[in-house]
Amino acid sequence: MGNIYFRKEAEEWNQAFPVGNGFLGAMVFGNVAKERIQVNEDSVWSGGFSNRVNPDAGRYLEKIRECLFEGNVQEAEKLAEQSMYATSPNMRVYQPLGDIWIRFMDQEAERKLARDESGLPYLKESAAEVEAYQRILNLEQAVGKIEYCVGRTKWNREFFASNPAKVAMYSICAESGEDINLEISATRKDNRSGRGVSFCDRILAEENQYIWLEGSSGGREGIGFAMGVRVCSCGGRQYQMGSRIIVEKARKVLICFTGRTTFRSAEPKQWCRELPVLGVRLSDLEE
């Protein structure tokens, strides 16, 4: 098995690179100035269990058969529609867990008008002068890489998902020791221009290293969910501001993230927090 190469950033969802570990997935866009990572957890549905079974299906089965044998197809269709179709026409739909945004403070140039997946206009952060850009997805190792140069500095990003660790990871470093200055945030909203609806209950930063996104999919027995993001940096300064984590003058940055729902765990956030990768102290990683 070989590699998939792209020489430019993903312009829409289908061009992003996928990684996953079985229940957790991510689409990595490879944007230089403001990276987008769309995160999925495979039990995030628009509501809880909904019994849509028509209770009259068995009662009218024989009558429908008789109509068909007699050649009365129209009557059979009418009875089937009334007695066998779901009581509610709307099924639960699958939803993404959220988006992680990584803003590279020193690699922005200006905002340019672009169009999103729906063709609507929005302002996109364009990168500074970038050379030798490439994205690589290794199909055998399931590891993605993003490489490019800004000035004389070569930047390397790498991402993958681990099934044993139950997380996905995204690392950032510069070969010449250039300072890394980032702003990391999370959202769960309609990203199209002019759409401000947020589909979560709260987003908060904790302990200068965590971002938590929590909510419920709605309905009487809706599914609760949590996405946890852990930011670890070597050198420099790291702190929280609002619901964001700010990294200044770091040498290397590692971002770990995962998600959970009440379909699998009663306390999704607690489950995320207790994972060894997300629960270890920052001082232990620095050692």
Among 107-116, 181-190, 205-214, the least confident range? 107-116
Residues 98-128 have pLDDT tens digits of 999 999 988 876 666 666 666 666 666 666 6
Residue 3 backbone phi and psi in degrees, to 5: -115, 155
Q: Are residues 185 and 206 in the same domain?
A: yes
pLDDT at 287: 47
Q: Are residues 74 and 168 in the same domain?
A: no
What's the average model confidence in pLDDT over 147-165? 94
Q: Are residues 179 and 270 in the same domain?
A: yes
pTM of the entire predicted model:
0.85
What is the Cβ-side half-sphere exposure of residue 139, based on CA atoms within 13 angstroms? 5
Domain CATH number, residue 273: 2.70.98.50
Q: Are residues 72 and 24 in the same domain?
A: no
Among 89-98, 137-146, 224-233, the least confident range? 89-98
Question: 202 is in which domain, residue-wise?
Answer: 3-43+98-286
Looking at the chain, the whole-number percentage of residues with pLDDT higher than 70 is 87
Q: Are residues 175 and 281 in the same domain?
A: yes
Q: Are residues 108 and 230 in the same domain?
A: yes
Residues 257-281 have pLDDT tens digits of 999 999 999 999 999 999 988 866 5
Q: Are residues 136 and 272 in the same domain?
A: yes
Q: Are residues 123 and 39 in the same domain?
A: yes
Q: Are residues 56 and 103 in the same domain?
A: no
Q: Are residues 207 and 82 in the same domain?
A: no
Local structure of residue 191 (DSSP, 8 states)? -
pLDDT at 104: 94
Is residue 182 predicted with pLDDT exceeding 90?
Answer: yes
Please tell me which residue, 285 or 117, carries the higher pLDDT value.
Answer: 117
Number of domains in the chain: 2
Is residue 14 predicted with pLDDT exceeding 80?
Answer: yes
Q: Are residues 175 and 272 in the same domain?
A: yes
